[in-house]
Structure formats: C-alpha cells, structure tokens
Amino acid sequence: MLLQEGVEAEKKAISLLSKLRNELQTDKPIVPLVEDCADTDLWNQHLEYQRGLLNESDGQPSWFRSPWLFVECYMYRRLHEAIIQSPPINGFDVFKESKDQNFFESQESVMALCTHLQELIRTIEDLDENQLKNEFFKLLQISLWGNKCDLSLSGGGSSSQKTNIMNSLEDLKQFILVNDMEHLWSLLSKCKKARENMSVDRVYIVLDNSGFELVTDLVLADFLLSSKLATEIHFHGKMIPWFVSDTTIHDLNWVIKQMKFCNHKWMSKCGANWENYIKVGRWVYHDHIFWTLPHEYSAMPLVAPDLYAELQKACLILFKGDLNYRKLTGDRKWDFTVPFHQALCGFHPAPLCSIRTLKAEIQVGLQPGQGEQLTALDPHWLTSGKYGVFQFDGPL
C-alpha cells in the first residue's frame, strides 16, 4: 500500500511540475500559491504588489514580463509546492542527491582543508597578530572561492572542488575586484580587544551553497572561535530546498555527520568539534521564511522585523554568494561605480560584508573605468564565477 501511495504521489508531483514548465515556457500569468504554508500569504501579497506596478493595458504579471529575481524565486517556491502537495513524498528534497554528490566529489579538498585547520588550531596560541591576520585572510579567500561550487550555475552538473584550493590562492588574488578584508580584520580585532569578561561577540554567516562551500564556511567559523575573533557564530540557512544547492538544516547536519564518521583523522576531528559547538551553543543555526521570499533585503524591517532585530545583534554579518548580493542590492542595473552603501537602500542592521563570486549581471562599488576595462578584457566577467569580491559596509 505504501509503495502504491508513493507511486501515485510521484505521478502527482510530476504532473504539477509539468504544468509549471508549460506555464513558464508559454509566458502564462503568474498564479497565486494554493498550499496553506507560513509564507503563502506573503507570497500572494507580493504578487498583488507586482500587479499594482503594471498598467491596465499590460495585463497580469507573467513569466516573461516580471522582474527576474521575482520569477526565479517564484519558480523554486512552485517546485516546493509541487512536492508538499504530494504526500507521502512531501518532505523530499529534490536536490539532495546533487548536493551530496558535490560533497563526496570534493573529498580530497575537504581533507586538505581540515588538515590545515587542525594544524593551525594546534599552534594558534603561538601566532603573533600578523600571522593570525594572514591565516584569517587565507580562510576568507578559501570561503570566497568555495562559492564557485554552485549547482544552479552549473545546471545541476558537477560543480565540486577537485583540487586543493589553498595552492591557488596567490594566483587567484588578481581576480578579487573589491577587497575589503582589511576592514573585516580591523573590525573583529577591535571587538576582540574591547571584549569584557562574559560578553558575547556574534558573527552571523548567511549561508549559500551546501557541499564544499559549506565546509569552507564551517572552517572559517571554527577559526573565528579558535582565534577568539568571535565568541559565537550564528548561521542563517534556508527553510526549504532552494536554488538547487542552498543550505538547509538537514544539509548542515548531514555534512557534519559525514565528516564525523569519516575515516580521515582530521575530517573526523572537525566533524566532532563542530557537532559539539552546536551542542554547547557556540554555533547556532537559524532559518526564517524571509530568506526564501522574493523581497530585496531593504524590505526586511517591514516584512520580517523579527529577523532584522536578530541581525542587529551581530558585530559582523557575512553574506555568502550571488543571490544574497542580488537581494542586498535589489537586483537593479546599478552603475558599476555606485557605492555599495547606497545600493543597499537603507539595509544596515549591522556591519556587513558580501563574499561572492560573480554569477549575475550586477556589481557596484568599482573604481571608475574598472567595469569597462573588465568588459573589454572578458565580456562574460559578470557571470562566469571567475571574479570575486569582499565588499564591506560599516564604520571604518
């Protein structure tokens, strides 16, 4: 009986996904969500808002005539709706196999990274400030280039990290277009020096991809605690499967479990340590429906004031990846030289930094002529994932 129920549920989900594909391909009007979930009303209210932006002669918002960020997010939400309407497979993550494969195919790189981290932690008390700073910059860059491993960019194809990225950091520095790592070091160093007994300095990491990128973020988070640059790390991930490889709580727990029970000494050590950080509350995972809404982040104080208030508790927020950058800047066609602070449109809960490799046609905060020079050199520089930024906004 259960097998038959599963087969019928699968047929229903496929039927709903086929309907979605037809709507997308034929520029049908965007239809309201029907499943009664915590975010349904907010989605449908935003659809009404999109309708209000159109003139009467324009008709209804449709797939080809709506803002790209809105319809892209809407597509992933409809994918989720097709699954949750199809019990008993309503908890199925359609992207899980691809995410797991990315992690397994990156094993050698993960081993090298964990080995480096454990050797670093063993000697961290002996490092002078300059050495500590250099190690911080190294792990920041590893986290940046880990963002290349994006399954939504690769169309679901392999996007694993098969070489030891630490060996390439010097060669990759030339591709960092905005480099505000010094600001991050200055901010966290000041927080560390000003910290009183029992006071808490939180670094928030708004996660992007699971798999190898998530490991790079966890390694950075471990270093921040071990070096006392932070006392707590708060991770923010997605509540539902999103943009193919985005991290959910299930992905985080799965990666840590895989590492803990791995037969590699230092991977296993990392997994055990990270599990303990969560257990004792030094690492905290949050999810919130806002992260899978289509709104730009400047709308957060109005749409999700509880989340905005939570982010205000941070001494620094690191936003990983392209989708976060698009939502930070409203996904607008800004001039390349527009200051990052201006493009945030009033979103300033705490000092923040975008860490992304470029995979979307938006970039601000460049020097005069820099964007034009890059276009002449490489017409695809905005979307190839070849270039990266550390873009900071906050007191200097």
pLDDT at 155: 47
The reported pLDDT for the residue numbered 244 is 95
pLDDT score, position 168: 86
List the chain residues with pLDDT less than 70.
1-2, 56-57, 149-163
Is 351 within 8 Å of 187 (Cβ atoms)? yes
Q: In which residue are the tokens 């709706």 written?
A: 81
User: Which of 149, 228, 156, 217 minimizes the C-alpha distance to 189?
Assistant: 228
The pLDDT score that the predictor gives to residue 232 is 97
Q: Which of 297, 287, 328 is nearest to 39 (CA)?
A: 287
State the pLDDT at residue 59. Answer: 78
Nearest to 59 by CA among 20, 104, 27: 27
For residue 379, the one-letter residue type is: P
pTM of the model: 0.95
pLDDT for residue 199: 84
pLDDT value of residue 362: 97
Helix (H) or strand (E) holding 71: helix 68-84
> What domains, with CATH codes, occur in the chain?
2-84 (no CATH), 96-393 (3.40.50.10880)
Beta bridge partners of 203: 233, 316
